[in-house]
Structure 1
């Protein structure tokens, strides 16, 4: 046995290779694996005459987890040659495996992602366990990388250029086994782990001369060469990225297109070169830190044993309440969706009905396409081992019906009896929230967890309206709830640790990432995103053309342009938050400082009557609910003779103001960890992913924290004191430390 791969050969000459790294819970493409695979391939070549075929399987829950992110994240700008050599070595091993002259089958009993799928693609046939836990894909783009083990080259040659790019490489989708089978990444599905090896053996015996399609004389890439397929693709990608500094999609496109025009081995070299540019760059390090290390830190907070949740009461069947009810039911929980009238509650449940129907329609379409598009691959019957699509559709319909059955829409307080958790999502008024909790507290199960979905109101203040403040906290979801992956858990002054742990367990059950913050007006996410939207409005007040503001936010990497985002939120919301905050500050004896954004909000609402998309009129013009362009009347904010604001300033003002506010949140104890600040800012409020998050953006800024402080002071001199570096940032810059 080598370090990470076990070798067993049976009397029929079939070699079973079991991937099993003894030092890790998952198989990764680390140094020990590379040594083991090198030794294993050499032995296969040396003993080829006694071998009938090869089966690759895994002893881990996941089949193969992919690249070693510790190593990839630490690759410096001066290590390009070493990164190239390492990628070349891995590809050479895979190439020797697929040209062994004996059939090689991947028996996939767990997730095969990244390097795991690349290993499977180097096999002649891929059989997967049809289990929801099995995911297949090349998600490297989500970490700022590209597949460097031949994934770009082989998917293009297996699927064709456009399907490989649009369905695998550029979205980084993690496909379920059945979806991967329909796409062509998987050749065959089986129902049980025991059937995997048996099916692999059968395939080996019936395909003794197996070879990769691209190694067969006369092979052509499906769909033809790039000239016939991609005349507008670069422009489409540029439009999707909006000019944001994400180099990975560009490099993937280049590697795919250039590699499709040369032989396989030259294409591998091209792929490695584009990989090196990424892995030695800063954006990749930022994204690995945020989307792997920081996200894992947030997802894996210690919570101990918590009582199970079986029934959730959602109070308020408006947009947020209805969506929260849906995700709870989707997670298998019984849900009571309560509103003041049964009609309002039923309207809330209709939201779930629409989502379920949309999903079912998509599944039916996918099934129909799979039936019409199925083609034999690698000389095998394309339907071998596949489950009938009709059955899959029936299962999907049954699951949809069961989901809806778990939601009870009602106005009856008694229906809440026995609920383990209540999530309040009523109007943002403390008096209304107090009244709602007073009505239902006696009906719930004893010791039920009490949660408010408020986005700004202090949790400690709201806890005054319940008899068990130690069981009360904020559970802030983000819209659209069914797609947004973050939940902000807000601990009030009297919230107990058990309540926080129970909330974290619920968020995990909903398959979302939690961050835990301490109480303050606006908490972390609402407080910080408010600085972003206010900065966009301040630019408009200065006479900056609105199209330039939107372009700057797009090129900075924000998923939604700032004025468009304010329209979605509605302008009345930030004005109400502003007025409430101002009143609270004045009530405490402090001085309220107006923001340059304030006059823009007031004029848009009071003078122009344009409060946002929900009313059909905001910074944008809408027709039939669709955004069709910026409102020409915004010219009212233009200032003749105003000095132009540098485009780089527009971008950095938005990035800096959110980062500076986050430092204040950390200094004040609202935030407790850097990891949660980073991943929370990306997943919750759309801070650009390429930065690695609000605090990592400061770490990686040119010149480090000192460089960031210098630039912040420049912005403060030009645009206002709100850019003045806070004390914590100055202290850390003086120490030469980072936000870790």
Structure 2
């Protein structure tokens, strides 16, 4: 056996140890699971074995299934079902064995790893702050397919099962014990294997609770009478799921169905139900897209796979952050949280202290919610040194400038900072629109000058655009990626250009929404359709966040506006200067923001733009998405983006582009390349050249034929 170790001690206790070769964690795939079940079968059939302990030689128990295996599964639906049925049969063999089986859970037991533990008679979990268990498959477009839905259901009842699975909840040892998902917890100092063996010796006769003929799932009909609210509960759960997902996520619909139908039958039939719904889910294009984007693309990016080759890891000790506004304060916080010392500089000590208070508030909120303690919070906050003196930056090994988007101001702070820092120190600008090459003109070392575009709020938004200027060296790019991964953000590398990728493309979404309002499409329809297609916020609401005045200022400074953009500028000018609708901060934008009340769309829009009553909601949604997709391809075609996957990562993490589509580039294949081209042609005829596909994209679509344009799977 290559991945599973097997030993029997002198008391007849078999230890089946997961230790997957050439992997830092234990993962489940065709090879490892085959070895595991062959080993359990061997132990069960060995008359000298009194009981079995399943454990791990690595820090974690089992991290879950290999999602690349699922993404590249090339068999039929029947092949997939047969594979699951065989898995269920092997796990049922474990449960029906007369020999007690104990899971000794260390570290993480997620997804399939927890499902294996659930098939054991007893579960002991190491109680450490970093340890977690959970069925987390919904976070990657799947749901548990190795019995997790049905065993959770029988341990927790339907309410918690639905909550924990659909939200991919990860539980601490104490939470898991309270919910009976584990039976025993122990401290890191305890010998978990000895405890497992002791339980086996004291409990020679075992039976899973659901194999008792009298067993009934909590909160479900028991054959004698209907449990009050049972049907209504599932109806409400489905309705709430649809309200949240708008039917765009088939894995959520299918897991609810598997739980509902599995609750009214015995465990074996219930496992068949789960398997069939799992197969239907795996073969949907939405699930394939989510696995590819969320797990593979974003996972690889988070590990720094975009880093140029042959450069050693750069380590950082002290970071200087220029500007203590919301962005600078957020950058200071995530840097300190990663263990770095931070010098937070502003024009005044008062401003710098205010910036540090941003971190204090985050920590106090975490303490109030029980997610941190004063003992953990104080060392973090002590790492942030507020200052108004540029001299305090001299020992920093990285500078991140986060002052206002003003070229002259950025020039000034660049020059005064470079006067005190060492020549080897990288200087990064957190700009969302100004070209890095232009900003680097103020630097005496443009090869060390780079863009790091964070997103607000920095402590919550995972993406960072690493922007390469004309003279930025590969060594600087590599070092910048090391910093971004150090603070646990996800980097994508983009080349220079006004708006780079995310700001430029997101502008197309906003512009299209404002244009539709000017055409007379009711604002509530625009906003609701945006959410229905999977965007987290409507284009009008986000415009208020950005501020219409800023948008107008940027357009006034742009010398090369298209005819569409000129018309749009006139519309925004009317909204801002004639009607005084400026921003959320001012209390008056597309929405009204009453103090202490809930925002609502301004009621006077119909008097400014004559409202249409005949509109096509599908077309509205397609216009919003196609505007972003087409411009994203233009970014790829022009070299602003280096790879299609960067567009998908950036659009999902930075723009909130619907994840079920796989991202802006994957969207073309999600729609179907030929259908995408045909619909774009229709939009171009009706609304103008902004929907005209670039020639290079047309050639790609034609070359793909019936296949995919970008990714094989």
Report the TM-score, using the length of structure 1 for normalisation: 0.89
Would you say the 8 A contact 2:16–2:40 is kept in 1? Answer: no
Would you say the 8 A contact 2:306–2:493 is kept in 1? Answer: no
| Deviation at residue 133 of structure 1 after TM alignment | 5.2
Q: Please name the residue that 2:242 is paired with.
A: 238
| Deviation at residue 23 of structure 1 after TM alignment | 6.2
Query: Does residue 151 in structure 1 map to residue 148 in structure 2?
Result: yes
Pick the aligned partner of 1:486 from 463, 468, 485: 463
Would you say the 8 A contact 1:316–1:424 is kept in 2? Answer: yes
Query: Does residue 561 in structure 1 map to residue 538 in structure 2?
Result: yes
Spell out the pairing of 1:484-633 with structure 2 (5 A cutoff). Answer: 484-580=461-557, 582-583=558-559, 585=560, 594-624=565-595, 627-633=598-604
CA deviations over 1:538-590 (Å, ceiling 9, x no partner): 1111111111111211111111122222222222232223222x23x38xxxx
Query: Does residue 12 in structure 1 map to residue 11 in structure 2?
Result: yes
Q: Please name the residue that 1:273 is paired with.
A: 276
CA deviations over 1:497-541 (Å, ceiling 9, x no partner): 111111101111111110000000000110111101111111111
SS class of match (2:366): helix
| Deviation at residue 272 of structure 1 after TM alignment | 1.4
Query: Does residue 256 in structure 1 map to residue 233 in structure 2?
Result: no
Q: Please name the residue that 1:378 is paired with.
A: none
CA deviations over 1:125-145 (Å, ceiling 9, x no partner): 333344565443222112211
In 2, the alpha carbon distance for the partners of 1:527 and 1:296 equals 25
Q: Please name the residue that 1:373 is paired with.
A: none
| Deviation at residue 655 of structure 1 after TM alignment | 1.3
Q: Please name the residue that 2:224 is paired with.
A: none
Would you say the 8 A contact 1:74–1:285 is kept in 2? Answer: no
Residues 229 and 125 (structure 1), Cα distance of their counterparts in 2 relative to 1, 3 Å cut = farther
SS class of match (1:329): helix
Would you say the 8 A contact 1:490–1:519 is kept in 2? Answer: yes
Would you say the 8 A contact 1:223–1:229 is kept in 2? Answer: no
Residues 136 and 86 (structure 1), Cα distance of their counterparts in 2 relative to 1, 3 Å cut = same
CA deviations over 1:52-96 (Å, ceiling 9, x no partner): 3211122345432322323321346x8221221212211221122
SS class of match (2:639): coil
Residues 130 and 301 (structure 1), Cα distance of their counterparts in 2 relative to 1, 3 Å cut = farther
| Deviation at residue 432 of structure 1 after TM alignment | 0.5
Would you say the 8 A contact 2:55–2:103 is kept in 1? Answer: yes
Q: Please name the residue that 1:368 is paired with.
A: none
Q: Please name the residue that 1:198 is paired with.
A: 194
Query: Does residue 70 in structure 1 map to residue 72 in structure 2?
Result: no
CA deviations over 1:603-624 (Å, ceiling 9, x no partner): 3221222222222222222233
* Structure 2 stretches lacking a partner, 5+ long: 222-229
| Deviation at residue 448 of structure 1 after TM alignment | 1.4
In 1, the alpha carbon distance for the partners of 2:555 and 2:422 equals 37
| Deviation at residue 173 of structure 1 after TM alignment | 3.3
Spell out the pairing of 1:396-475 with structure 2 (5 A cutoff). Answer: 396-475=373-452
SS class of match (2:464): strand
Query: Does residue 651 in structure 1 map to residue 583 in structure 2?
Result: no
CA deviations over 1:298-337 (Å, ceiling 9, x no partner): 2323453133111111111111111111111111111111
Would you say the 8 A contact 1:244–1:557 is kept in 2? Answer: no
Would you say the 8 A contact 1:532–1:654 is kept in 2? Answer: yes
* Structure 1 stretches lacking a partner, 5+ long: 365-392
Pick the aligned partner of 1:301 from 298, 303, 306: 306
In 1, the alpha carbon distance for the partners of 2:178 and 2:492 equals 36
Residues 509 and 24 (structure 1), Cα distance of their counterparts in 2 relative to 1, 3 Å cut = closer
Would you say the 8 A contact 1:105–1:204 is kept in 2? Answer: yes
| Deviation at residue 193 of structure 1 after TM alignment | 8.1
In 2, the alpha carbon distance for the partners of 1:176 and 1:477 equals 31
SS class of match (2:622): helix
Query: Does residue 58 in structure 1 map to residue 53 in structure 2?
Result: no
In 2, the alpha carbon distance for the partners of 1:615 and 1:397 equals 36
Q: Please name the residue that 2:334 is paired with.
A: 327
Would you say the 8 A contact 1:129–1:177 is kept in 2? Answer: yes
Q: Please name the residue that 1:687 is paired with.
A: 657
In 1, the alpha carbon distance for the partners of 2:175 and 2:495 equals 41
In 2, the alpha carbon distance for the partners of 1:209 and 1:401 equals 51
Would you say the 8 A contact 2:220–2:263 is kept in 1? Answer: no
Pick the aligned partner of 2:204 from 192, 195, 208: 208
| Deviation at residue 184 of structure 1 after TM alignment | 4.6
In 2, the alpha carbon distance for the partners of 1:613 and 1:184 equals 47
Would you say the 8 A contact 1:17–1:55 is kept in 2? Answer: yes
Would you say the 8 A contact 1:115–1:149 is kept in 2? Answer: yes
Would you say the 8 A contact 1:287–1:692 is kept in 2? Answer: yes
CA deviations over 1:681-704 (Å, ceiling 9, x no partner): 1011111100101111112322x2
In 1, the alpha carbon distance for the partners of 2:334 and 2:265 equals 47
In 1, the alpha carbon distance for the partners of 2:594 and 2:198 equals 59
Residues 264 and 189 (structure 1), Cα distance of their counterparts in 2 relative to 1, 3 Å cut = same
In terms of mean alpha carbon deviation, does 84-93 or 196-205 score higher?
A: 196-205
Query: Does residue 720 in structure 1 map to residue 691 in structure 2?
Result: no
Residues 628 and 113 (structure 1), Cα distance of their counterparts in 2 relative to 1, 3 Å cut = same
| Deviation at residue 725 of structure 1 after TM alignment | 0.3
| Deviation at residue 284 of structure 1 after TM alignment | 0.9
In 2, the alpha carbon distance for the partners of 1:297 and 1:696 equals 17
In 1, the alpha carbon distance for the partners of 2:630 and 2:176 equals 43
SS class of match (1:363): coil
Would you say the 8 A contact 1:540–1:637 is kept in 2? Answer: no
| Deviation at residue 101 of structure 1 after TM alignment | 2.3
CA deviations over 1:339-377 (Å, ceiling 9, x no partner): 11111111111111111011111117xxxxxxxxxxxxx
Q: Please name the residue that 1:711 is paired with.
A: 679
Query: Does residue 165 in structure 1 map to residue 125 in structure 2?
Result: no
CA deviations over 1:414-443 (Å, ceiling 9, x no partner): 322311111111110010011112222233
SS class of match (2:76): helix
CA deviations over 1:149-195 (Å, ceiling 9, x no partner): 111111222223222222x2111234455554555544444444872
Higher relative contact order (CA 8 A, sep 6+): 1
In 2, the alpha carbon distance for the partners of 1:413 and 1:177 equals 47
Pick the aligned partner of 2:671 from 701, 704, 711: 701
In terms of mean alpha carbon deviation, does 553-562 or 625-634 score higher?
A: 625-634
In terms of mean alpha carbon deviation, does 126-135 or 447-456 score higher?
A: 126-135
In 1, the alpha carbon distance for the partners of 2:23 and 2:413 equals 50
Q: Please name the residue that 2:37 is paired with.
A: 38
In terms of mean alpha carbon deviation, does 691-700 or 195-204 score higher?
A: 195-204
In 2, the alpha carbon distance for the partners of 1:208 and 1:193 equals 26
Q: Please name the residue that 2:368 is paired with.
A: 361
Would you say the 8 A contact 1:620–1:627 is kept in 2? Answer: no
CA deviations over 1:628-650 (Å, ceiling 9, x no partner): 3222112134436x573321111
In terms of mean alpha carbon deviation, does 711-720 or 120-129 score higher?
A: 120-129
CA deviations over 1:213-244 (Å, ceiling 9, x no partner): 33345444445564475563222222222x15
Residues 91 and 307 (structure 1), Cα distance of their counterparts in 2 relative to 1, 3 Å cut = same
Would you say the 8 A contact 1:83–1:276 is kept in 2? Answer: yes
